[in-house]
Amino acid sequence: MTWRRALYFLPLVAFLALAAYFLRGLAPGYDPQVLPSVLIDKPAPTFDLAGLKSATPLTNRDFAGEIVFVNFFASWCAPCRGESPVLMDLSRRNVIQLYGIDYKDKPEDAIKFLQEFGDPYRRIGVDESGRTAINFGVYGVPETYAIDRAGRIRWRHVGPLTTQVVQTEIMPLLKRLGAS
Amino acid sequence: MIIELGHFALILALAVAMLQAGLSLTGAARSDPNLMAAGRLAALAQFALIALAFATLIHAYFVSDFSVANVAENSSTTKPLLYKLTSVWGNHEGSMVLWVLILALYGAAVAWFGDAMPPRLCARVLGVKALIAIGFLVFILLTSNPFLRLSPAAENGMGLNPILQDPGLAFHPPFLYLGYVGNSVAFAFAVAALIEGRVDAAWARWVRPWTLASWCCLTLGIAMGSWWAYYTLGWGGWWFWDPVENASLMPWLAGTALLHSAIVVERRDTLKSWTVLLAILTFSLSLVGTFLVRSGVLTSVHAFALDPRRGVFILVLLFIAIGGSLALYAWRAPALEPGGIFAPVSREGALLLNNLILASCCATVFIGTLYPLFLDAVGGPKLSVGYPFFDRTFVPLMIPLLIAIGIGPLLAWKRGDLLGALQRLWAAFAAVIVAMLIALYLSHGGPVLSVLGIGLAAWMGAAALVEFADRVRLFRAPWAEVARRALTQPRASYGMTLAHFGLAVTVAGIAASGFQQQSIALVHLGDALPVAGYTLRFDGIGKHEGVNYTADRAEFTLLSGSRVVGQLAPERRFFPLQQQTVSKTAIHTNFFADFYLALGDPDGKGGWAVRAYWKPLVPFIWIGGVIMAFGGAVSLSDRRWRVGIAARRAVKGALPAGRSRA
């Protein structure tokens, strides 16, 4: 076969390579929705939010020197109801320090929501305008961030927390952060 | 009962498509006129059956039959009638039926006009089209069946995504599909030509009108989609380099290249294997677009519901259709004889340059769109490339093409005279300078790139007019002679002038986006917001009840000094069924500039966030698109495509190159 003839195979070869990529993209476990935060290892955004159920505001200064988890939720968000048993379990076992940020929500609705599904949070800030969420780069509720002792974001999870995420991500993360 | 009839009709259509493939391909192989005639009948029958199936689906939406799962999931009784009907293609299953309906429509059209073509070529084209139809009908029936019943029936439907309840979007998918799927005709012609081992001027003349028809629809479809994004999404952007937008742009770029290279095949009998490859690639890109939208491989705002089973199925279809045709190409294309030779500076050379640049642009968009997939495969970080990538690659690639577009049509076939062409374009050079000076003056020394862009648009527009004036010998011949020439110009040449001029108009609109002015502010009742020399007065806000939503409607008056220019009433619509808020922007336009206003969130203390933009020349973007599509339609009406003429030429066989046009 001459080189000229071989050239005509080029489109076919290129397509086959492409098809292999497509096949890989369809493989189970591949999830284009997983988006890393650009804020990973960067200082958490500063905020100063009115407290829900308490007069003290919630600010990022409250976290100083501690490993904390910040969970964005809302009463109108269905997946938040789904993850609430997992959060309640974490708070009962006192595994993590969990703070909540109520996203684009009416305080009275949020209080009703917490009465119904339980309140796993140490304290809650009200982000009615959603500005704090924008600064964190929240895609949608629920979303959870881990902030280390130095006030840097170390981990982010989009979507509801599950026991599997707790086992495979949060526990190892705590070990890592505790050790360093 | 009626919906079962539709289901049955679709199954029957699959059987007929199988028959059509068998009859046509065997008929062509054996040169049996009876089998080939039966294949043509089957193509008409297939269209009738799919049309029946589609009609039953429309009926189910019309009467809101919530015992049909697809209707219950995508419609509701509280929706305006127009959106009840357009929901048919607002979801994956229904849109696939529209897809095959259009595929069958083109098939039936080929069969209907088939008398003008050599019967074997027609039969092979119909055979290939039937094979594609089989693949997609099986796909619908096995993985995406819209005719399934829901038991027990739902009380009310879940409704259509509010953002899709818009007239602009209602008609955007049909046009887009007419474009995408229309490319299957050129694809079928290419595969048929590879089977026959012959590509000649006559072949190109039959391919071109089909390519032109689908190109016009695709142009309109893309323009509509972009316009919809502009006035709906509330940020004033009109192109986001989203994977789904790119999926429609890639076939458009490849199809534009194909339109131009087919001219070279028709007139000069050369670039044959390249043209065949382009025809295959254009439809392949349409298929890849379908795959990307429906498989969930890439994240996109437009994506349909994710289902891995569907993704695998479409991938198999892609593999057979694209892999098969490219394998056929690798095997047969080397046998296509190269035709006439030409100098680099010539009409052929210019058209080849057009093809090279368009193909590079298409490759750039392709890589940019699929980059996340490639990068992830080698373990790189997950990210998607947005407009910074495309701005730095696509735009610089396009500029030489936009400059060359003015010169190419003035070059002669075989060997052109570049200096002579440039001399004839002195008026265009003058237009560039005048346009840039005007842009500089009006924008008080605005951004350099935008001023240059306006110059580029003026160059293209003026060059298109100069070329036309040159052809009718304006100012060089007596008026009677000019009028006679203008009347006897082929429609195709009017089409070219219009399409090139339309592109210039679009480029002007894009370039002028650098001149836009904006103001994002929190306003209270009675406030006056200054934007671009105008004043926007906040007159009032109230509740407004729609058919299936409630809205906050703000009233603004646009003033120039103390003169009232217009009223704007942007809304925030809340759809209770879907718990979703959609912004309805208000636009005041005089076709040279838009005043664009979007209502944001209230601060709870009487203040409202608003985004106001003044966008000069932005309507030109879509007006240019419409002019381009109109140019295509004018070219399509050229008498040389007409049945009688094509038939007479078909009898005589291929003409010597270069004689077909006046």
Residues 6+ apart with CB under 8 A from A88: A117, A118, A120
- In tens, the pLDDT along B539-592 reads 988 888 887 788 889 999 999 888 999 999 999 888 777 667 777 889 999 889
One-letter amino acid of B203: W
pLDDT in tens, B615-624: 999 999 999 9
User: CA neighbours within 13 Å on the CB side: how many for B283?
Assistant: 30
Distance from CA of B497 to the nearest CA of A (A): 34
Q: Which residues contact B107 (CB under 8 A, 6 or more apart)?
A: B20, B43, B46, B47, B126, B129, B130, B133
Interface of B with A in 186-225 (CB under 8 A): none
pLDDT tens profile B226-242: 998 888 776 778 887 87
Whether residue B151 lies within 8 A of chain A, CB to CB, comes out as: no
Q: B326 and chain A: CB distance < 8 Å anywhere?
A: yes
Block residue for tokens 């080939």? B36
Torsional sign, CA B607, B608, B611, B613: negative
What residues in B contact A26, CB-CB < 8 Å? 295, 297, 308, 311-312, 315
Distance of residue A146 Cα from the nearest chain B Cα, in angstroms: 20
Residues of B in contact with A18 (CB under 8 A): 370
Residue A69, strand partner residues: A98, A146
Alpha-carbon distance B220 to B202, whole Å? 28
Could you tell me the CA-to-CA distances from B98 to B49, B50, B89, B656 in Å, in that order?
Answer: 13, 9, 7, 41
d(CA B553, CA B549): 12
Whether residue A19 and residue B329 make contact (CB cut-off 8 A), yes or no, is no
**B552 touches B572 (CB < 8 A):** yes
- pLDDT for B444: 84
As given in the structure block, the two tokens for residue B369 are: 């769109």
Residues 517-576 of B with CB under 8 A from A: none
* Cβ contacts from A onto B, under 8 A: 71
State the DSSP code for B68. Answer: B
C-beta separation of B365 from B394 below 8 A: yes
CA B638 and chain centroid, separation: 22
Q: For chain A, which residues lie within 8 Å of any Cβ of chain B, measuring from their own Cβ?
A: 4-5, 8-9, 11-12, 15-16, 18-19, 21-26, 28, 30, 32-36, 76, 128-129
* Residue B379 C-alpha, separation from nearest chain A C-alpha, in angstroms: 12
Nearest to B377 among A19, A24, A129 (CB): A24
Q: Give the model's pLDDT for residue B641.
A: 65
For residue range B392-424, list pLDDT tens digits in order. Answer: 888 899 999 999 999 999 998 888 888 888 988
Rg over alpha carbons for chain A, rounded to the nearest Å, is 22
Closest residue to B326, CB basis, from A15, A23, A28: A15
Which residues in chain B have Cβ-Cβ distances shorter than 8 Å to A16? 323
Whether chain A has a CB inside 8 Å of the CB on B363: the answer is: no
Query: How far is it, in rounded angstroms, from Cα B270 to Cα B657?
Result: 9
Give the DSSP H/E element, type plus range, for residue B588.
strand B586-589
Residue ranges of chain B with per-residue pLDDT less than 50? 300-303, 305, 380-383, 643-662
Strand duo A58-59 + A124-127: pairing: unpaired
On whether any CB of chain A is under 8 Å from the CB of B315, the answer is: yes
Report the C-alpha gap between B662 and B652 in whole angstroms. Answer: 19
B398 close contact with A: CB closer than 8 A: no
What is the phi-psi region of residue A29: left when phi exceeds 0, alpha when psi lies from -120 to 50, beta otherwise?
left
Average pLDDT over residues A153-174: 84
> Is B308 close to A28, i.e. CB distance below 8 A?
yes
Please give the average per-residue pLDDT across A136-151, as a whole number. Answer: 84
Cβ within 8 Å, pair A128-B604: yes
Largest CA distance in chain B: 81
What CA–CA distance (Å, rounded) separates B573 from B554? 11
**The pair of three-digit structure tokens given for residue B503, joined into one six-digit string:** 């592109």
Give which of B326, B331, B520 to mutate to test A binding, by max A Cβ within 10 Å.
Answer: B326
Query: Chain B, 414-453: which have a CB under 8 Å from a chain A CB?
Result: none
Residue contact A11–B326, C-beta within 8 A: yes
Closest residue in A to B578 (Cα) is A76
Report yes or no: B382 at the A interface, CB cutoff 8 Å: yes
Pairing assessment for the beta strands B571-575 and B580-584 based on DSSP bridges: antiparallel
